[in-house]
């Protein structure tokens, strides 16, 4: 699954207020069971646009008049624990937001029924959390302030991405630094659709330094990593774009482990020599 944007390619749908949206198959998110209340709709696309920040928009392809603002539940409550039994390496939860709840007189989010997106398979499922402390009309201003998210920002200038506005909630602290850059502590993850599935770990202390990273299971699906919490850790491996192998490689020996709740990260060196420091992307491997 990838966010769609307005570009000159693939099939097009007309969707107010976004105008013409062009799609490729990779943009389509399949909901085999539909959404609660909209079980007949099974194909959606996630729209990302600067005017929607901090939200994204989940738009029906079969009926483009139907769409829902969505948000990461961790932006609402960092301690959110959906207990939905999903694989954090390939999946991520989002929740539907009601921008104005007349009863609550505030924006609310359905924290009791998160949507689990499987980025690897391009599918999604809305799940109901039983006996949850979270409600279907959880006020965003309980732990989250949209105004703070959109206005309290730090501006940095990067060689790869130009100007970036960063909030404190986006900063990931590496107390031991990164291999080769032990003096750098604060980083931010940057994702852009035209670079997917690569993401970038950009230094705030030295924004000219940015490391391309990727989910290791997208490169080698038999990758194993012990001594981490699979319920919350996000795992990446650093990519070398111009390696000695003559093509892109990943360092499977030294994964980057990020705890999105604690906003902390570390790069570890695996004690075994089972994995290469320059594993060629596209290799199948018994390397």
What is the residue range of 159's domain? 153-280
Residues 179 and 87 in one domain: no
In order along its 287 residues, the chain shows pLDDT tens digits of 555 544 444 677 776 566 677 778 888 999 999 999 899 999 999 887 666 667 788 989 988 888 888 988 877 877 777 776 777 778 888 999 887 666 656 778 999 999 999 888 899 999 998 766 788 988 876 554 444 444 456 778 776 778 888 888 889 999 999 998 899 999 998 887 777 788 899 988 888 888 999 989 888 888 888 777 766 788 999 998 765 556 789 999 999 999 887 889 999 999 888 888 888 887 654 44
Does the residue 286 lie in any domain? no
- pTM (2 decimals)? 0.49
Residues 87 and 172 in one domain: no
In this structure, the number of other CB atoms found within 10 A of the CB of residue 97 comes to 22
The dihedrals phi and psi of 148, each to the nearest 5 degrees, come to -65, -40
- Asked if 66 and 41 touch (Cβ cutoff 8 Å), the reply is yes
Residues 117 and 166 in one domain: no
Residues 96 and 203 in one domain: no
Residues 174 and 81 in one domain: no
Burial degree of 242 (CB within 10 A; 0-12, 13-18, 19+): exposed
Residues 118 and 168 in one domain: no
In this structure, the number of other CB atoms found within 10 A of the CB of residue 38 comes to 16
């Amino acid at each position: 699954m990838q966010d769609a944007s307005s570009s000159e390619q693939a099939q097009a749908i007309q969707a107010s207020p976004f105008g013409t949206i062009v799609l490729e198959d990779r943009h389509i998110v399949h909901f085999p069971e539909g959404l609660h209340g909209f079980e007949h709709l099974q194909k959606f696309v996630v729209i990302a646009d600067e005017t929607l920040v901090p939200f994204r928009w989940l738009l029906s392809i079969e009926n483009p008049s139907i769409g829902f603002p969505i948000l990461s539940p961790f932006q609402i409550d960092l301690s959110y624990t959906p207990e939905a039994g999903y694989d954090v390496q390939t999946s991520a939860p989002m929740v539907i937001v009601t921008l104005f709840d007349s009863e609550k007189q505030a924006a609310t989010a359905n924290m009791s029924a998160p949507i689990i997106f499987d980025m690897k398979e391009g599918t999604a499922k809305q799940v109901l959390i039983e006996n949850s402390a979270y409600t279907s009309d959880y006020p965003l201003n309980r732990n989250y302030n949209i105004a703070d998210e959109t206005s309290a920002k730090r501006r940095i200038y990067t060689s790869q991405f130009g100007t970036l506005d960063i909030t404190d909630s986006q900063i990931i602290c590496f107390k031991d630094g990164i291999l080769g850059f032990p003096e750098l502590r604060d980083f931010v993850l940057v994702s852009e659709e035209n670079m997917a599935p690569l993401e970038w770990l950009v230094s705030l202390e030295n924004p000219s330094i940015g490391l391309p990273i990727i989910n290791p299971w997208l490169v080698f699906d038999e990758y194993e990593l012990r001594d981490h919490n699979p319920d919350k850790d996000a795992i990446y491996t650093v990519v070398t774009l111009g390696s000695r192998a003559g093509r892109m490689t990943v360092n499977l020996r030294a994964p980057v482990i990020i705890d999105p709740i604690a906003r902390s990260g570390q790069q570890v060196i695996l004690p075994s020599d089972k994995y290469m420091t320059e594993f060629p992307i596209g290799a199948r491997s018994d390397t």
